[in-house]
Copies of this chain bind each other. A is one copy, B any other.
């Protein structure tokens, strides 16, 4: 497991990846992230103490530190490692996927890498609540200096006066947003570089920047706009800028919004801001969104991720390396399980879960029927 920079607890040493692998019965080796070595060590020692107090073998859990890619590459290449969990950059994830694919025994890599989380501002919703949507968008965009995998990195809407009202409200909110210190100097440098690249694109207009920075590694929120035609003509405009930067794509009509959606790469989320009168248009959009995203949400913002049964924090490449999986929620355990069939094995040699009489009282499928038999 590779700890993520931006969630020192939820996606790091004892985060969801580690928890789901433990739940599946796997020993775990964590490569701590350089952004929070102290927190990693504190949490690692807590896990170590729990392993001891449960009487488990020490090898059930290890925590390694190191800069550069050397340790991570060696871990993924090690024949004793059977699966990899990773949350981080597209480059980092692709590198680990390459190492895993080249092993004599290839293994699954669950890398959550890159997502710009499109938000569709549907016409009726814009007409009825453009200003409120503008403010709520900026709150989601700037939360935690925008350092969330599910940050709303692009907006799609039909051009016109309702969208202008949204833009005015968003520009005002961003203009008043304080600069925030980012997690690491590297993340800050990448944000500045991404924002500079967008601002310098001939097809992109800068709508607003946040308040000026006053300290090291601080970032100013950034809000840009372009047209659907320009966005479709330049695939680089789809690149994630990790942090509080977002690009509004002005479309001629809902059909153009759908055309842009069709050309998007895989996403963790797709968000619909919609009112009742938008339903017909949204019905035409949903089949596309189902193929592009792991989670489709209406009238919320993607930055909230609940740990629950229904959550899918995953999605088609490059959102993740494996769209069959989620790294959040109960389905996350499936990443570390594989099926085994027991045929005519004597009862006392079966796993308890499969024995006659169902001693664990679990849900099971017997002769095709789900039940407690």
Residue ranges of A at the interface with B (Cβ–Cβ < 8 Å): 97-98, 101, 105-106, 108, 266, 272, 274, 276, 279, 282-283, 286, 290, 293-300, 309-312, 314, 316-318, 321-324, 326, 331, 334, 337-346, 348-349, 363, 365, 367-368, 370
Contact = CB atoms under 8 A, between A and B. Distances in A.
Given A279-B349, A286-B349, A321-B106, A296 B341 contact: yes
25 contacts: A97-B101, A97-B106, A98-B101, A108-B322, A282-B349, A294-B338, A294-B339, A294-B341, A295-B340, A295-B342, A296-B340, A296-B341, A296-B343, A296-B345, A297-B343, A297-B344, A298-B343, A311-B341, A312-B339, A312-B341, A314-B338, A314-B339, A323-B338, A324-B338, A326-B339
A317 B101 CA distance: 12
Contact of A345 (B293, B294, B297, B338): B297
A274 B348 CA distance: 14
Contacts of A98: 101
Contacts of A337: 324
A286 B354 CA distance: 14
A344 B300 contact: yes
Contacts of A266: 105
A367 B152 CA distance: 28
B309 A344 contact: no
Nearest to A308: B368
Given A309-B365, A312-B339, A299 B344 contact: yes
A33 B312 CA distance: 38
B343 A295 contact: yes
A289 to B, nearest CB: 9
Contacts of A317: 105-106
Nearest to A265: B105
A272 to B, nearest CB: 8
B363 A370 contact: yes
Contacts of A326: 339
Contacts of A105: 266, 316-318
B345 A298 contact: yes
